[in-house]
Chain A
Amino acid sequence: MSAVTFDNVSIMFGDAPEKALPLADQGQSRAEIQQATDQVLGVHDASLEVEEGETLVLMGLSGSGKSTLLRAVNGLNPVVRGRVLVKDGEEQVDVTACSATRLRKLRQNRVAMVFQQFGLLPWRTVSENVGFGLELAGAEDRRERVARQLNLVGLDGWGERKVGELSGGMQQRVGLARAFATDAPILLMDEPFSALDPLIRTRLQDELIQLQDELKRTIIFVSHDLDEAFKIGARIAIMEGGRIVQCGTPREIFSNPASDYVADFVANMNPLGVLTARDVLEPGEGERSIAAETPIREVMPLLREGPLSVMEGDHHLGRVTAQSVVERLSA
């Protein structure tokens, strides 16, 4: 059973979404639909399964509907057509159709969220913010659980400070701790790091990856940065104008972009993060041999001593030279 299932989800902003759906079904764009009906297309017919423990990244330009789709998971945005199923124990709950009480329980215990602008309560201390979700759910052992989370995100000793005194990076750690604290198995993250400067961003990305190795939550992560997406996501869904245009592993997307839009994205990213020796082959023999899955970053220093043979098990695939790498990167 998937942790989260999007089943033909359509989201429309406006007072008469029924009018706009047929146009969306004909494949009209957001601008055309808005012109004709005054409704804003948020998401159209998105279908996606997110497995337990998986990190899925929703990716796309500004306005492509990433946040809108993400916020459908915890019911912050109303779904006009389709279903969003969230796993709760042994059953799947349709967020779009369940009662307000059921939805509240899901939000308290199953689905937590991290916001781009942090969404912390400025008049509260760090600890009180981290414990916010627990407090709403009426958890008893709040103190210990908050202390554990503070330790997890490296904020020991900061608990009694007001959040306003903290830097942006630390505030987002508080945001992460608040989301982890409820022990919700599903985490929604809406560009959690994009308000931070690049150095802190990279650090928090690394920390998130580390934490995820430990905690094994199901994460749906929104990003408009393909480098970040490739770094964090096991799978990436690329959105354009409210529709999912491609979904796959980083490697699939990189080597086989489904449209010019995706290709554009890929062209603008730093390829060193995704390519492996397999991707930069040319025919011929090298001196030393390396495995086909060796990341390019690790291959580059070895190249100084001459061409390398690329092996998949015992099978010889070809060789890598400085020239072949440069050719692939500039292609």
Chain B
Amino acid sequence: MLDWLTEYKLPVGDVAEAVFDWLQANGGWFFDGLALAMEWLIDWILFLFQAPHPFIVVAILTAATWALHRNWQVPALVAAGFLFVLNQGYWEETSESLTLVLSACVVCMGVGVPIGIAAAHRPALYRWLRPVLDLMQTLPTFVYLIPAIVFFGIGMVPGLIATVIFVVPAPIRLTHLGISSTPTSLIEAADAFGATPSQKLWKVELPSALPQIMAGLNQTIMLSLSMVVIAALVGADGLGVPVVRALNRVDTGLGFEAGLIIVVVAILLDRALRIDK
């Protein structure tokens, strides 16, 4: 019955493969350069986390939290959480995961905010961009792990790339929302007093969009953290590694331990970054 339909299969898979092959053959220099830059970023951040004694890093993070919140509860929670991590012997993995999260933040905000601004200023661009963003967020993450390995091999870099692809739509969308919901009255006031386009951006649109952009940063961090297990599958170090190992060995104890650490880190980051004004 369905022969006529299945007789000719549309070559979706073949086309995708051809595109990847072509990219690999012709865009090698680009991906190599990208990989180099990412590696450099990751190494630096990892160095910052791992070179000092863990207590110093925890103290700095706690102090930073205090600077943000000006109360004692949240910094106390942060300090307690990290001490628990140390107690469980997961400091190295945690610092690696934090490195991945922080690198993802740098890349996602660095790319996402400018794209969000450009999209807010050009409705046509956003119409074209929206389906792409939807695709990036709905495509199962495992699917783009494959090209990530093809282009970047195994390690932190493909983990970071996969994380960025999954996460970057969030800051793009939120920046777009923030910039395009700048009240017209403020834009007009800026125009009426002779603002240049860049003055308008820096003095009116960005400050007005700041709450949304910060929400984008918050989401970026939380979504990146949710990617640590997936990233471990392509060889990224961090808290995902013991989880994957536990899965392979069906080691319930190890799996639960590592999972709990991920939850603790997630709660710490969420609390530390949630600033109510």
Contacts and interface: CB of A to CB of B under 8 A. Distances in A.
A108 interface: yes
B195 interface: yes
A130 B188 CA distance: 16
5 contacts: A76-B191, A105-B194, A117-B185, A119-B185, A188-B192
Interface of B: 185-186, 188-196, 199, 203-204, 207-208, 210
A135 B200 CA distance: 12
A107 interface: yes
A178 B193 CA distance: 9
A133 interface: yes
B186 A119 contact: yes
A133 B207 contact: no
Interface residues of A, number: 27
Given A121-B204, A121-B207, A136 B188 contact: no
Contacts of B193: 107-108, 112-113, 132-133, 136-137, 178, 182
Contacts, number: 62
B195 A136 contact: yes
Contacts of A158: none
Given A121-B204, A121-B207, A136-B199, A115 B185 contact: yes
Contacts of A112: 192-193
A115 B203 CA distance: 19
A106 interface: yes
B194 A137 contact: yes
Contacts of A113: 189, 192-193
Contacts of A135: 203
Nearest to A132: B193
Interface in A164-213: 178, 182, 188
Interface string A98-120: 00000111111101110101111
Given A104-B196, A119-B185, 6 more contacts: A104-B195, A133-B193, A136-B196, A178-B193, A182-B193, A188-B192
Given A117-B185, A119-B185, A121-B186, A107 B191 contact: yes
Contacts of A117: 185
Contact of B188 (A115, A132, A182): A115
Contacts of A132: 189, 193, 203
A74 interface: yes
Contacts of B196: 104, 136
Contacts of A103: 194
A117 B185 CA distance: 8
Question: Most chain-A CB neighbours within 10 Å: which of B185, B192, B196, B204?
Answer: B192
Contacts of B192: 74, 76, 107, 111-113, 115, 119, 188
Contacts of A121: 186, 189, 203-204, 207-208
A123 B194 contact: no
Contacts of B208: 121, 123
Contacts of A107: 191-194
8 A-B pairs with least C-beta separation: A107-B194, A119-B189, A108-B194, A133-B193, A113-B192, A104-B194, A119-B185, A136-B195
